[in-house]
Amino acid sequence: MTKSAYKHISETFHNQENSYPSTNWHLLIKLRSSPSVVRIDKPSNIARARSLGYKAKQGYIIVRSKIRKGSLRKLRPKMGRKPGNLGVEKITPKKNLQRIAEERASKRFPNLVTLNSYYLIEDGRSKWFEVIMVDPNHPRIVSDPKINWIAESHNKRRSPRGLTSAGKRGRGLRRKGIGAEKIRPSLQANKNRGK
């Protein structure tokens, strides 16, 4: 069976090489010097972007977002603690990095709505994600029956509310059945249910 062009593209992204002569080596050098959140002309991984809803038409925007890896950097107290009670190591955010990248992109472009995002590349210090954003007021978006749902008022601020795919994964909504009884509609709503 013959493979499609998108299948070949996705396979090349699955087998990434970051060593010296590879293409990603030069890409990482370019990405490190670029701003943290920047709009780009077209997606780097067209197969992944298309599978998440991207179309090469007016109203769709791609934003590349850089996130620092690792746990939170906390100031070490000068005195008065046992080493185990310093509260410096192994303190991580409750959100996943992809969700934080989407939120930073939506904060940088407040007139756009986040549709989805995907992992691009990483080095020892940072991770890069590409965020697919949509202009809900663009005539091409409003007239398209497949995407005009995003222009409705209850779909505003999707990424800060955790309504994207990465947000739902971080909220535990991919789990079902035994052990997942208290995560719907959200952990906070379930906590307040008995009050």
Alpha carbon separation from 34 to 22, 64, 163 (Å, rounded): 20, 10, 28
Instruction: Compute the distance between CA of residue 70 and CA of residue 124 in angstroms, rounded to an integer.
Output: 10
Mean pLDDT for all residues in the chain: 91
Report the C-alpha gap between 136 and 131 in whole angstroms. 15
- Read off the pTM: 0.88
User: How many other CB atoms are there within 10 angstroms of residue 153's CB atom?
Assistant: 6
Helix (H, G, I), strand (E, B) or coil at 49: helix
**pLDDT, mean of residues 124-134:** 96
13 band by pLDDT with thresholds 50, 70 and 90: confident
Quick: pLDDT tens for 48-80.
999 999 999 999 999 999 999 998 888 999 888
H helices of the chain, in order, are 5-14, 23-32, 46-51, 97-108, 139-142, 165-170, 187-191
Domain ranges, ordered by start, for the chain = 5-152
- Residues 9 and 47 sit within 8 Å (Cβ to Cβ): yes
How far apart, in whole angstroms, are the C-alpha atoms of residue 103 and residue 163? 11
Over residues 82-102, mean pLDDT: 91
Task: For 44-59, give one letter per residue: b (16+ CB within 10 A) or e.
Answer: bbebbbeebebbeeeb
Instruction: Return the DSSP state at 148.
Output: G
Q: What architecture (CATH level 2) is domain 5-152?
A: 3-Layer(aba) Sandwich (3.40)
